[in-house]
Amino acid sequence: QVQLVESGGGLVQAGGSLRLSCAASGRIFSIDDMGWYRQAPGNQRELVASITSGGNTNYTDSVKGRFTISRDNAKKTVYLQMNSLKPEDTAVYYCKAVIFSTFGPRGNYWGQGTQVTVSS
């Protein structure tokens, strides 16, 4: 089995910072793309940022210049550094990883979600 466990969410004032982490564990052969998504109440889940195994990154326009995605392949962990947070960043943040497991084909795996709340 494969698990993704997120941490680092919480309540912060506008202009503040948070760092999210997502660690993959289990019967993993290799990890391809990793990313962070978010879903606010009443909205669809949207891609925030993604990073390839080689380190190429992609961001949604609303977070460019404020958020930074990174990964530590040895630790099987992806991070999201969020600076200059705004109330509109409030959402449940989910990590996703494309993982080649040792017991089956490549699959998309999701974390359980972590709440980020930005107060004005």
Q: Tokens for 47, please give them.
A: 């891609």
pLDDT surpasses 90 at 98:
yes
Q: Where are the beta strands (DSSP E) in 1-120?
A: 2-7, 10-13, 18-26, 28-39, 46-51, 57-59, 67-72, 77-82, 91-101, 106-110, 114-119
pLDDT surpasses 90 at 105:
no
pLDDT band at 111 (very low <50, low <70, confident <90, very high): very high
pLDDT score recorded for residue 1? 87
30 to each of 13, 74, 77, 97, 110, how far by Cα in Å? 37, 11, 12, 10, 16
Chain segment 15-56, per-residue pLDDT in tens: 999 999 999 999 999 999 999 999 999 999 999 999 999 999
Chain segment 50-93, per-residue pLDDT in tens: 999 999 999 999 999 999 999 999 999 999 999 999 999 999 99
pLDDT score recorded for residue 102? 87
